[in-house]
Amino acid sequence: MNTLMLTLHWVAGFVVLAEALNKLERTAPCRRGVLGWRVRTTEWLKAIAWALLAVGGAGALVTPLLPMERPRCRTCA
């Protein structure tokens, strides 16, 4: 059961990372042209949000490779 949960966590991290990088590629906060302050601010906020989500997804991918103790339920043991 624990291995299944770790595998699902890794797969979810992969999906989140892929989607965040896809959306991050589409944002253009430094686009040339006449962008209003509201549109430019929205683009910057979207870029920051997708970048933070990508960091979280990458963390889920790297977690199994780190030499740390695996999480467990203390009340069940």
Amino acid at 73: C
Q: What pTM was estimated for this model as a whole?
A: 0.78
Contact 57, 11 (CB under 8 A): no
- From CA 10, how far away is CA 24, in angstroms rounded? 21
71: pLDDT strictly greater than 70: no
Show the tokens assigned to 63: 């977690």
Domain ranges of the chain: 17-62
Quote the pLDDT of residue 69.
72
